[in-house]
Amino acid sequence: MIKVGKGDALIIVDVQIDFCPGGALPVPEGDKIVPVINEYIRKFKTAGALIVATRDWHPPNHISFRSQGGPWPPHCIQGTRGAEFHPDLRLPEGALIISKATDPLKEAYSGFEGTDLTDKLREAGAKRVFVGGLATEYCVKNTVLDAVERGFETFLLEDAVRGIDVKPGDVERAIKEMLERGAKKITLTEIK
């Protein structure tokens, strides 16, 4: 069991309407992790730990969009309904919101890339980070790998992630890579 406390941070990656069923770039069953994440939020909030939510916050002409030569349909455009957090996600007041991929010319899968997330975590005294969200093999993986690289003890919330699996096995390979690089897997039952 892991006891969560003030030196910990929960990082919820991109649980936005466009990444859930019915959205512009849906992750299959992406909405199914929302109740699990809400339970993590409850535990971390009770423990007085930092709660962070990242979000894609793209300008309408973002480089990742097919119209700009990128691989994806337009999604999570600043100020649109699709960019909003899933309506059932219970982010507490005072949760730190990190907007990423805001530069039209730069892709940013990681919550650390082009943001002040590292500084905010250090200011809060976080030593361990616990990462869940969407999608496993893209934004979750890159956020986890960047957290490890920056020296945080990093946990992948195995029961609070979903992937796209464009090529069958992508999700499995992403999890394997995260673990090989130093992240650890954990589930809700192991957190107190």
**What whole-number percentage of the chain has pLDDT above 90?**
99
Mean pLDDT, residues 12-26: 98
Could you give the residue numbers annotated as active site?
14, 100, 139
Is residue 1, in this structure, part of any structural domain at all? no
What's the average model confidence in pLDDT over 56-65? 97
Tokens in use for 113? 């890339």
pLDDT at 45: 97
Give the long-range contacts of residues 62-65, CB within 8 A, separation 24 or more: 62/101, 62/104, 63/104, 63/105, 63/106, 63/107, 64/101, 64/107
The whole-number pLDDT of residue 28 equals 96
Q: What is the mean pLDDT of the chain?
A: 97
| pTM of the predicted model as reported, rounded to 2 decimal places | 0.98
pLDDT category at 30 given cuts 50, 70, 90 is: very high
Whether residue 85 contacts residue 51, with contact meaning beta carbons closer than 8 Å, is answered with no
In the prediction, which pLDDT does 36 show?
Answer: 98
Q: How much is the pLDDT for 108?
A: 96
User: What's the pLDDT at 192?
Assistant: 87
Output the six-digit token pair for 142: 């890159």
Summarised one tens digit per residue, pLDDT across range 99-129 is 999 999 999 999 999 999 999 999 999 999 9
For residue 84, give its domain range. Answer: 8-190
Q: How many CB atoms lie within 10 A of CB 63?
A: 15
Q: Can you give the pLDDT at residue 189?
A: 96
pLDDT of 116: 98
**2 in any annotated domain:** no
101 is a domain residue = yes
Cα 21 from chain centroid (whole Å): 17
Q: What is the CATH number of the domain that holds 152?
A: 3.40.50.850
Task: With respect to residue 132, please indicate whether it lies within any of the assigned structural domains.
Answer: yes
**Cα gap 2→18, rounded to integer Å:** 33
Is residue 3 included in any domain, yes or no? no
Tally of domains within the chain: 1
What proportions of the chain, in percent to the nearest 5, are helix, strand and coil?
A: 30, 25, 45
How confident is the model over 15-44, as a mean pLDDT? 98
